[in-house]
């Protein structure tokens, strides 16, 4: 007998507690053995996900509750990984929208909710983190209703069920005054409010590819929902490609989900989520169907990228010293391999065999790719991110973003002023508790390039900044983004304490004494608007005379830590970012090469 099924996606703004809540659901369902050591955010299996505390890739799990199989999909919360959310919503019949009891709906809440409503889903709303200080659960519910109405939800969708919970403490309840010690009320809500999947097991097979995985043993593995029919291990099937071509092949292995594991199964019917091996050429959105009666499902449409940058072979004086994978062929193969699983990414070849134009959904989306590649041993260079312009109805347009800032009261004026200079328009301003204010802006995407570092300085590190893609609008004119000039090394060598101490009054450094540098490498930020070349490797001339005070300990100001994200925001139009497994260096584009490029 086939178990009843519920397919649910968990959607929310970044850091509102999706993955922690899934941990609580897995523990409640008895997925883990008694005494088994379970890490926090067990669904974040990727190293980068654990380090950054964010979900990057959507993941499936399945639990059994009251003789019902509940397939749960954990999705990313950051706007840059919206491509993952869009695909996953096509696999499920209901969704759980998580909202922070203190922050309420945020920019990405709007994005994921809009996608869910477009798919015709009726979300269950869960107000999370109700046990925190300053939590205001009922106000959060009111704000969610306002958001539903703003997004044009129908009457049925606006009558959404809602619960209150603490993912960290592991409980959920229907009313704030109820007593609860577990997640049973949420499981019961899934059974009541999420409809069973619609599909006919007797119809010809239709399975849509929504996620791609890879195994050294099985090759490409596709994950998707069976919309109609039944699939069996070893059967003949056909893949209907994006172009309409029909490729016949065999299902070499069929797997289902149980807890955090994939288990091999003999067959699965309409409504189930499965992983299938044997379709080496399958891509996102394509359909696996019956070879005797091939019927394709509508292709999945994913929002287009809004930001692009050039990836190129490293040609700095230190090229090839730290990375193992450095040639243009290796970089090209890796970028095109990424396209197999990263649907929101675009890669184009250019006139130069050493340069590739890579387009993504934002700085974080591209930054994750860069960080992943450098950890795999790749060495390359990237240019400053640029927004992608489009022509709509004969008019040139650019992407605009919704920006929400949560700032201390004393930083409100300076934030409004700086965003005004970047063509930002303030939409809303709400004074919160504990001396904090929430500001909402609509701002061109290019106005946000390099803004995060400036924002952290304006708020002294106490500000919270979130943004998500809004729409394309007419170009808003020139944006003046002020940035001081840079300090540039004019020779190759090793930086010395003596040279850096003498140059301290010229600006702040990005390096420490003992760092290897080369001619044209950016070593710091100048106090003035223009660039300044200096000798960072100069050493103190030693004599046989002992100078008074010569034995004093020299103290230098702390350097600015140039992380990958900070460097991507900081880099100028005439600069490149050199990426190796061990180092991140800023450098000026060689003037001779720039002149050759113009010719």
Domains, the chain, ordered by start: 5-193 (3.40.50.300), 206-289 (2.40.30.10), 390-474 (3.30.70.240), 486-545+553-571 (2.40.50.250)
pLDDT of 57 > 80? The answer is: no
Q: How far is CA 237 from CA 269, 277, 284, in A?
A: 14, 12, 17
The mean predicted confidence, pLDDT, of the chain is: 80
| Confidence band of 33 (pLDDT split at 50, 70, 90) | very low
Closest C-alpha to 494, from 473, 461, 518: 518
Query: Has this prediction a pTM greater than 0.85?
Result: no
Annotated binding-site residues for GTP read 15-20, 128-131
Across 515-525, average pLDDT:
91
* 489, 536 contact by CB (below 8 A): yes
Indicate the range of 464-473, 483-492, 590-599 predicted with least confidence: 590-599
| Confidence band of 220 (pLDDT split at 50, 70, 90) | confident
Across 69-74, average pLDDT:
82
- DSSP-derived 3-state class of residue 588: strand
**Cα–Cα distance for residue pair 70/258, rounded to 1 Å:** 10
Q: What is the DSSP string of 58-73?
A: -EEEEEEETTEEEEEE
> For residue 339, how many other CB atoms are within 10 A of its CB?
14
**Cα–Cα distance for residue pair 114/148, rounded to 1 Å:** 9
pLDDT of 137 > 70? The answer is: yes
pLDDT of 357 > 60? The answer is: yes
| Confidence band of 456 (pLDDT split at 50, 70, 90) | confident
Across 300-320, average pLDDT:
84
What is the per-residue burial (b if ≥16 Cβ within 10 Å, else e) of 414-426? ebbebbeebbbeb
Annotated binding-site residues read 15-20, 128-131
| Confidence band of 596 (pLDDT split at 50, 70, 90) | very low
pLDDT of 189 > 50? The answer is: yes
């Amino acid at each position: 007998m086939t178990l009843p099924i519920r397919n649910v996606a968990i959607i929310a703004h970044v850091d509102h507690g999706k993955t922690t809540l899934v941990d609580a659901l897995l523990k409640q369902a008895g997925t883990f053995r008694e005494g088994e050591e379970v890490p926090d955010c067990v669904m974040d299996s990727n190293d980068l996900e654990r380090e950054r505390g964010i979900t990057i890739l959507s993941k499936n799990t399945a639990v059994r509750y009251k003789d019902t199989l509940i397939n749960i999909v954990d999705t990313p919360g950051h706007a840059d990984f919206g491509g993952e959310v869009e695909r996953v919503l096509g696999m499920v019949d209901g969704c759980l929208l998580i909202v922070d009891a203190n922050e309420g709906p945020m920019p990405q809440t709007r994005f994921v909710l809009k996608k869910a409503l477009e798919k015709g889903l009726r979300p269950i709303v869960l107000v999370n983190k109700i046990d925190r200080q300053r939590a205001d659960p009922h106000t959060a519910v009111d704000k969610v209703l306002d958001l539903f109405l703003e997004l044009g939800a129908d009457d049925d969708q606006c009558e959404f069920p809602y619960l209150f919970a603490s993912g960290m403490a592991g409980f959920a309840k229907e009313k704030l005054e109820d007593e609860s010690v577990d997640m049973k009320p949420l499981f019961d809500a899934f059974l009541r409010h999420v409809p069973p999947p619609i599909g006919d097991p007797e119809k010809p097979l239709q399975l849509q590819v929504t996620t791609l995985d890879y195994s050294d043993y099985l090759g490409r593995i596709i994950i998707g929902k069976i919309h109609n029919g039944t699939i069996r291990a070893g059967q003949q099937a056909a893949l209907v490609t994006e172009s309409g071509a029909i490729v016949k092949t065999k299902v070499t292995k069929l797997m289902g989900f149980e807890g955090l594991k994939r288990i091999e199964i003999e067959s699965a019917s309409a409504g189930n989520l499965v992983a299938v091996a044997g379709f080496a050429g399958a891509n996102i959105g394509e359909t696996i169907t019956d070879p005797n009666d091939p019927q394709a499902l509508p292709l999945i449409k994913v929002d287009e990228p809004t930001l692009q940058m050039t990836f190129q072979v490293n040609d700095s004086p230190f090229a090839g010293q730290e990375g193992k994978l450095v040639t243009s062929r290796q970089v090209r193969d890796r970028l095109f391999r990424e396209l197999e699983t990263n649907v929101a990414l675009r890669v184009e070849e250019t006139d130069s065999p050493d340069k590739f134009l890579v387009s993504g959904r934002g700085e974080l989306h591209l930054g994750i790719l860069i960080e992943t590649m450098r950890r795999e041993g790749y060495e390359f260079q990237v240019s400053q991110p640029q927004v992608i312009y489009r022509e709509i109805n004969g008019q040139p347009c650019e992407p605009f973003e919704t920006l929400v800032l949560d700032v201390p009261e004393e930083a409100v004026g300076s934030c409004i002023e700086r965003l005004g200079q970047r063509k930002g328009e303030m939409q809303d301003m709400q004074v919160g508790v504990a001396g904090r204010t929430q500001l909402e802006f609509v701002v061109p995407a290019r106005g946000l390039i390099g803004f995060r570092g400036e924002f952290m300085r304006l708020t002294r590190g106490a500000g919270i900044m979130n943004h998500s893609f809004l729409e394309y609008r007419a170009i808003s004119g020139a944006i003046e983004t002020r940035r001081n000039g840079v300090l540039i090394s004019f020779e190759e060598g090793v930086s010395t304490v003596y040279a850096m101490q003498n140059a301290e009054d010229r600006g702040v450094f990005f390096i420490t004494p003992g760092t290897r540098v080369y001619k044209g490498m950016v070593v710091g930020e100048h106090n003035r608007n223009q660039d300044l070349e200096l000798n960072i490797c100069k050493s103190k001339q030693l004599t046989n005379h002992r100078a008074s005070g010569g034995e004093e300990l020299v103290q230098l100001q702390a350097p600015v830590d140039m992380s990958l994200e900070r460097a991507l925001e900081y880099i100028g139009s005439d600069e490149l970012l050199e990426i190796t497994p061990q180092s991140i260096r800023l450098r000026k584009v060689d003037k001779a090469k720039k002149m050759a490029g113009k010719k």
